Every structure is written in structure tokens, then in C-alpha cells.
Amino acid sequence: MTEQARNPLHGVTLEMMLNALVAHFDWPELGRQVPLRCFVSDPSVASSLKFLRKTPWARAKVESLYLFMLREQARAQRELPSRPGAAARS
């Protein structure tokens, strides 16, 4: 368990990743970020999961975008408390 403690993908299913990405980006932006037909043409979670489970390179792109999204969300959370104070000092 200790070797997985720092792995942000540990315990996250592909379906959880895809749902989080769709909630964050929505399908059109997700299709621009990762140009896959399953995200652009009549997208659905079920069809995308089917494709991603069979296509390792596409899954790697989705995992990479998911990790990027997590980093951006963490950075935004760290910046939230400092913004009001910084604006008040200016």
C-alpha cells in the first residue's frame, strides 16, 4: 500500500476519470483537448469507455489530461485564499 500512496491514479477507475473530465471540460472541450472520435462524434461515457479500454495510447492521453486537471484544481485551491488578501493590499 505504501508504494501506491503517492500515485494519484490509485483507486481511480477509468469511468471515474472520464466522468470527472466531462464534468470539468464538457464533451466539446474534451474533444478539443484529446481529439478522439468517441469524444467528438455522438459522445457517451459508455462508448468512450469501450474505446479507451481497448486502446492503451488513448487511455494514456486521458490519464494525462486527468492528472493535468487535478494539478490545475489543486493550484486553484492554493491560490484562492491569497487572492482576496492580495487585492486588498493593492
Q: Where are the domains of the chain?
A: 12-89
Residue type, 27: W
* pLDDT of res. 81: 64
Q: b/e string for 4-39 if b means 16 or more Cβ within 10 A?
A: eeeeeeeeeebeebbeebbeebebeebbebbebebb
* pLDDT of res. 22: 96
Alpha-carbon span 71 to 2, nearest angstrom? 22
* pLDDT of res. 78: 87
Question: Domain 12-89 falls in which CATH fold?
Answer: 1.10.720
pLDDT at 67 over 90: yes
